[in-house]
Structure 1
Amino acid sequence: MTKKKDYSKVLICRILLFDLDGVLVDSIANVERHWSDWAKRHQLDVQQVLGTIHGRRTIDTIRQVAPKLPAEIEARYLDDIQTLDTKEVAATAGAAELLAQLAPEQWAVVTSGPATLARARLKAAGLPMPRLLISGNDVKQGKPHPEGYLKGAELMQAEPEECLVIEDSLPGIEAAHAAHIPAIAVGTTHPRNELKNAELWIPSLKLLSIIDTEEDDEIALAVSE
């Protein structure tokens, strides 16, 4: 852990709850390629579809943009093809370094995608598997509903106010706030003005590091200038 450095802010929590895509894993090229192909095949407006996909479960997006299609079948197809194809998937800047500073019991992943897809992307990115992974299939209601983050806090044996969420999408930030958990927004997917509801905005995880704290079960998350 880093001991001495100038920081603009230090945030204290017990548990870090990470979104996956756009936060730990850069999968945007892969995601948009598969969704674009799917939209063209169903004669849908590609840009309209791409504007709704981030931060949400596949099935929820399909129900919104193509309500006449069999959502479960289409969602399974899109999730499966992305699980098999991890081309263009990589770790985001600073993700590996930040996770290396955390103990396994200090962090978890709460993602809108299925667990098999999440693990495939973590593996492709060369990142460690979390001890706890809450997937879109583990909840009845996806983001922006708070169920996933509430479940993550509960299973990590923490109160919501003891957690901190790191997100890249508005539905994710709304889910965190609905769970009464503060959120850091990472500007990897959306511009800063679209994520202004977050408590803090950073351009990448490279600005975050863990510093020493006197409490054994406490995380001191430092934000560099």
Structure 2
Amino acid sequence: MPPTTVDLTTTVFEAVLFDNDGTLIDSRGPVVRAWTAWAEHHGIPLERLVGLHGVPSRGIVSRVAPHLDVDAATADIDRRELEDAEGVVALPGAGDALAAVGGRAAIVTSAGRDLAVLRLDAAGLTPPAAFVTADDITRGKPDPEPFLLGARKLGVDPARCLVVEDAPAGLQAGRAARAATLAVTTTSEVHELAPLADAVVPDLSQVTFRLVEHGVRVELA
């Protein structure tokens, strides 16, 4: 049975757990360049990478190239991504969202810490104290572990959190963590996101976050 839809505008959330790439920042240029070069180098057809946005690098490598040494192949793609931050920018509304939520925000990303920090810096964004990366977990999205850890770092109940994501894998992880979910259509189509989200918006410029006595309220444009 599908989870009951939450009315985001009438709920007070204990915290907001933001994905990074595709939600707070636009890193599509570096991502496409790095993965295209990696796939060509290893003889992997590019179509195998379709639909894996939001999954950690190691998980992607394991799925599309099980014949490769996963440690070496993951290190290769990580190196390529760390060498390219050209064109990374903050997405509309991202800075305002982080500032508004303040200490009740966490970033939960499938990127490694070094890469996440590099891209956030390139976009002019400062991560909150609660910051979960691929280096902190054993199972990546769509497993709920990343968001469960994000909630734990903030000392809140994951079922009282709002997960903000741009990828189906991330929304699946949020739902599995029992959180409410808000999707942005920056990298995926509405029809891919809507079945997994309590609401869908173009980007965070269409959302207002407001701190209240016991948490965070959300208003949708």
Instruction: Show the 5 A alignment for 1:1-225.
Output: 9-49=9-49, 51-103=50-102, 105-196=103-194, 197-211=196-210, 213=212, 215=213, 217-224=214-221
Could you say if the C-alpha distance between residues 154 and 212 of structure 1 is closer, same or farther in structure 2, counting changes exceeding 3 Å? closer
Instruction: Give yes or no for contact 1:52–1:61 (8 Å, CA) kept in 2.
Output: no
- Name the CA distance, whole Å, in 2 between partners of 1:89 and 1:34: 13
CA distances 1:31-78 after superposition (whole Å, capped 9, x unpaired): 0111011111122211322x1431101011011111101111111221
Q: CA deviation at 1:9?
A: 3.7
Partner secondary structure for residue 13 of structure 1? coil
Q: Which amino acid aligns with 2:217?
A: A
CA deviations over 1:65-94 (Å, ceiling 9, x no partner):
111011111112211221232012111111
Partner of 1:4: none
User: What is the CA RMSD across the aligned residues, in angstroms?
Assistant: 1.5
- Percent identity over the alignment? 33
Does structure 1 retain, via aligned residues, the 8 Å contact 2:167–2:193? yes
SS in 2 for 1:209: strand
Instruction: Point out 4+ residue stretches in structure 1 off by more than 6 angstroms.
Output: none
Quick one: which amino acid aligns to residue 132 of structure 2? I
Query: 2: CA distance between counterparts of 1:212 and 1:109?
Result: 17
Distance (whole Å) between structure 1 residues aligned to residue 21 and residue 10 of structure 2 = 25
AA partner of residue 35 (structure 2): W
Letter in 2 for 1:209: T
Matches of 2:37 and 2:10, distance apart in 1: 43
**Pair 212,35 (structure 1): closer, same or farther in 2 beyond 3 Å:** closer
For the structure 1 residues 14 and 59, does the alpha-carbon distance in structure 2 shift closer, same or farther, using more than 3 Å as the test? same
Unpaired runs of 5+ residues, structure 1, are 1-7
The separation in 1 between residues aligned to 2:33 and 2:65, in whole angstroms, is: 18
Distance 2:11 2:92 in 1: 20
* Cα pair 1:11 1:222 within 8 Å, conserved: no
Is the CA contact 2:147–2:174 (under 8 Å) kept in the aligned structure 1? Answer: yes
**Matched residue pairs, number?**
213
CA distance in 1, matches of 2:90, 2:71: 29
The separation in 2 between residues aligned to 1:79 and 1:10, in whole angstroms, is 41
Please tell me whether the aligned partners of residues 38 and 76 of structure 2 are also in contact (alpha carbons under 8 angstroms). no
State the one-letter code of the partner of 1:14: E
> Which segments of 5 or more consecutive residues in structure 2 lack a partner in the other structure?
1-7
Give 2:95's aligned amino acid.
A
Q: Secondary structure of the residue that 1:128 maps to in structure 2?
A: coil
Q: 1:31 to 1:171 in 2, by over 3 A?
A: same
